[in-house]
């Protein structure tokens, strides 16, 4: 299985280290960075702070904020066998799961607002839901909403990916990520990591401050 969750293993992401993931407001709080440093939560773009703790459909929230249609492009999707356990969705080595990566792209601007990597315990979701997911009709959040499934989203961790400047590649700025699981019928069945480039969400004042 593609390793979609290196972020989730590189930093201390316990509730004590990242109280923001379950409280939303933490006065003078900080958020963990993958390089071991910490960043003031207050310094993050306000919209991203709200997005990290929302349990709504991210695509619709992005459309309302940027005021353009947001397209869901499937970059990768494959049934695969787990090489390692993913405890948050009770996947064991050897279990079969659906892994996918999508891009949330502005339909007018072409800007990439987010990427989402997900692992789905496909045998634990209803047949009609699984088929629409396989057919790549819409994003997972919109699919859950349209299917009328009772579900609960639990944020497992949030953090910052420092920018990279690998040789031969264009520099990539800092990004914010959150990992959450979707519980359907009292069972965790979907694990999603969403990554948002910080630069696209900064106001002009924040950009000048940086």
Q: What is the pLDDT tens value at each position of the chain, 210 positions in all? A: 444 443 434 334 444 555 555 555 667 778 878 788 888 888 888 888 887 777 667 888 899 889 999 998 989 889 889 888 899 999 999 998 889 899 999 999 999 999 999 998 878 776 776 776 666 656 676 666 666 666 778 888 888 887 765 444 444 688 889 898 988 888 898 899 999 999 898 764 444 444
Phi and psi torsions of 85, nearest 5°: -70, 145
Q: How far is CA 99 from CA 2, 110, 190, 193, in A?
A: 8, 25, 10, 12
Tokens matching residue 5: 């969750």
- Residue 11 CA to residue 133 CA, distance in Å, equals 31
Q: Domain ranges in the chain?
A: 7-163+172-201
C-beta of residue 178 within 8 angstroms of C-beta of residue 32: no
What pLDDT is stored for residue 206 in this prediction?
A: 47
108-162 pLDDT tens trace: 999 999 999 999 887 877 677 677 666 665 667 666 666 666 677 888 888 888 7
**CATH label, 7-163+172-201, candidates 3.40.1410.10, 3.30.2350.10, 3.30.565.10, 1.10.150.120:** 3.40.1410.10
Q: Which residues pair with 191 in a beta bridge?
A: 119, 181
C-beta of residue 13 within 8 angstroms of C-beta of residue 159: yes
CB neighbour list of residue 16: distance below 8 Å, 6 or more residues apart: none
């Amino acid at each position: 299985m593609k390793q979609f969750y290196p972020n989730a293993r590189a930093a201390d992401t316990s509730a004590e280290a990242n109280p923001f993931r379950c409280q939303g407001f933490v006065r003078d709080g900080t958020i963990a960075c993958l390089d071991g440093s910490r960043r003031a939560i207050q310094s993050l773009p306000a919209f991203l702070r709200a997005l990290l703790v929302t349990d709504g459909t991210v695509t619709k929230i992005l459309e309302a904020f940027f005021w353009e249609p947001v397209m869901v492009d499937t970059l990768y999707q494959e049934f695969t066998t787990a090489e390692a356990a993913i405890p948050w969705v009770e996947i064991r080595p050897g279990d079969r799961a659906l892994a996918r990566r999508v891009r949330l792209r502005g339909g007018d601007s072409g800007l990439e607002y987010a990427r989402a990597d997900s692992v789905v315990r496909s045998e634990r979701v209803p047949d009609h839901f699984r088929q629409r997911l396989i057919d790549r009709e819409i994003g997972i959040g919109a699919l859950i909403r349209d299917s009328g499934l009772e579900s609960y989203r639990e944020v497992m961790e949030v953090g910052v990916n420092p920018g990279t400047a690998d040789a031969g590649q264009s520099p990539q700025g800092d990004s914010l990520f959150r990992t959450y699981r979707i519980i359907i019928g009292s069972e965790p069945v979907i694990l999603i990591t969403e990554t948002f480039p910080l630069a696209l969400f900064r106001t002009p004042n924040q950009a000048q401050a940086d």
